Structure 1
Amino acid sequence: MALPPNASTEVFIREVDEEYRRERMARFWQRWGKAVAAAVVVLLLAFGGWLYWQHRQREAAGVEGERMQAAFDQLSQGQAAQAQPALAELAQSKRDGYRVLAIFTQADILLQKNDLKGAAAKFASVANDTGVDDAFRNLALIRQTAAEFETLKPQVVIERMRPLAVPGSPWLGSAGEMMAVAQLRLGQRAAAGQLFGQIARDEGAPASLRQRAVQMAGVLGVDAVPAPPAVQEPSR
């Protein structure tokens, strides 16, 4: 049975269109097939390399973690000399956490030996490392300043600690105390008293530090004794 004219035309057009697409794809693969295949191979190799790199990174991190734990075990047993080689290697790690922790530990060992200058240099290396998180850098700056405190001019201490000794900062207690003492050495009693008062009211500061701040604020004429919690009357 013959197809109606319209149907025959549609079938013919569809066959021509399909043949044209096949011919166009054939020309495309003749011209670009090798390049596309090469690109796919490169992408697969790159993806495989990335997976391998990730695997190696995890392995290296695990090894460094084990070395750090071994060094801490040696330190807890009083074997600081045996722990030093591992700490020296970890202090060069490309991983910020292990590197900073190793340097801090090296500095603490120097502090135990009363080598304040050597410890300050270790802390300074972290404080000046713009590649690590600000939290590490701020803590390192505070510890550096504490190690150098007696040799620094009061104004230097104030300028270092000023950005950290502000209400709401997690460093208000430790940074603020050093800044307030430096202010006292410059005769700035009112400013020191206000800062001690802020520390005393900082619930995030250690209790011992807050207690010292209350006492110092009181000596300087600032009432920083926390108000007792309000007593709620029982409902009737």
Structure 2
Amino acid sequence: MTDLFREVEEDLRREQFSKLWDNYGLYLIGFAAGVVLIAAAFIGWRAWSNAQKVDLSTRFDEVVRQAERAQPEEAAALFGSLAAEASGGYETLARLREADALLEAGDRAAALAAYERATQSSAPEIVRGMARIKAAFILVDEASYDDMKARLQPLLTGSSPWRGNALELLALSAAKEGVWQDVNTNAQAIIDNPSVPAGLRDRAHILQALAAPHLPRAGEEEAAPTAAGTVAEEAVDEQGPDAQEETE
């Protein structure tokens, strides 16, 4: 009897499966085929992407070697050509190297434009921050202090690896306009950061030394009125009692 029930149950399952297959079989086949195609497409895309990265890496290294043997103008053209064909991080790195070569060739305007393009790329923030620093370095002699602050503001957060360099450029810009208190403040912020390179900290001390003669010394403002009063009193004493009476 148990076997009979089992056979009936199996027949019912087969009948249910047959009905499901008749109603939804094509959809199941389509779904399964879609999953296979998606998986195949993803695997194919990943293989293509990896191949592209390897190809770009190889080409970048080759262009670097060629640029080392070329004149700055030729090196800039090589990196510019690579940047036009590349994408992502390699495009930005090529733009940066193009700008470096243009700056070495003396074309500051073209170098600045290349750095500015790199700041607008989709590269990681550390790469775009480098481009922003290099662009600001070109502009520090001609841009206003307010303009420099606006340009470098994104790098002044505590987490930015370029914060020290941004503070140094701001201190230089402030010194150019005679804002000595800001020179001192920006330099001190560099000195207070234990993670900045020794060379950067040494330059910050130099900036503070340049600013020091232009800053009020502690107690000077309080001492000035006292000194003026002493001079006035001495003048009255020298004029004698009559002068004191007239003054009173």
TM-score, structure 2 as length reference: 0.76
Residues 58-91 of structure 1, C-alpha deviations (whole Å, 9 max, x = no match): 1111111111111111122235566556523431
Distance in 2 (CA, whole Å) between partners of 1:169 and 1:38 is 50
The two structures, once aligned, show a CA RMSD in angstroms of 2.4
C-alpha change, 1:89 and 1:215, in structure 2 (3 Å) is: closer
Distance in 2 (CA, whole Å) between partners of 1:126 and 1:83 is 17
1:74 paired residue number:
66
Higher helix share: 2
Aligned sequence identity (%): 23
Structure 2, unmatched stretches of 5+, are 214-248
Distance in 2 (CA, whole Å) between partners of 1:91 and 1:204 is 33
2:30 paired residue number:
38
The alignment covers a number of residue pairs equal to: 213
Q: Is the 8 Å Cα contact of residues 142 and 161 (structure 1) preserved in structure 2?
A: yes
**Residue 15 of structure 1 pairs with residue 27 of structure 2:** no
How far the C-alpha of 1:124 sits from its partner, in A, is: 0.6
Residues 151-209 of structure 1, C-alpha deviations (whole Å, 9 max, x = no match): 21121012222342455642232111111122233432222202112213333333222
**Residue 205 of structure 1 pairs with residue 222 of structure 2:** no
1:111 paired residue number:
103
Structure number with bigger Rg: 2
2:230 paired residue number:
none
Distance in 2 (CA, whole Å) between partners of 1:144 and 1:84 is 16
Distance in 2 (CA, whole Å) between partners of 1:25 and 1:182 is 79
Q: Is the 8 Å Cα contact of residues 187 and 208 (structure 2) preserved in structure 1?
A: yes
Q: Is the 8 Å Cα contact of residues 199 and 213 (structure 1) preserved in structure 2?
A: yes
C-alpha change, 1:204 and 1:92, in structure 2 (3 Å) is: farther
Query: 126, 142, 155: which one pairs with 1:151?
Result: 142
Q: Is the 8 Å Cα contact of residues 108 and 138 (structure 2) preserved in structure 1?
A: yes
Q: Is the 8 Å Cα contact of residues 73 and 105 (structure 2) preserved in structure 1?
A: no
Q: Is the 8 Å Cα contact of residues 89 and 124 (structure 2) preserved in structure 1?
A: no
1:100 partner amino acid? T
Distance in 2 (CA, whole Å) between partners of 1:85 and 1:120 is 15
Query: 101, 114, 129: which one pairs with 1:122?
Result: 114
C-alpha change, 1:49 and 1:71, in structure 2 (3 Å) is: same
C-alpha change, 1:59 and 1:117, in structure 2 (3 Å) is: same
Distance in 1 (CA, whole Å) between partners of 2:181 and 2:65 is 48
2:125 paired residue number:
134
2:93 paired residue number:
101
1:141 partner amino acid? R
**Residue 162 of structure 1 pairs with residue 191 of structure 2:** no
Residues 63-120 of structure 1, C-alpha deviations (whole Å, 9 max, x = no match): 1111111111112223556655652343135542211110001001100111111111
TM alignment of 1:162-181, pairs within 5 A: 162-165=153-156, 169-181=160-172
Q: What SS does the aligned partner of 1:92 have?
A: helix
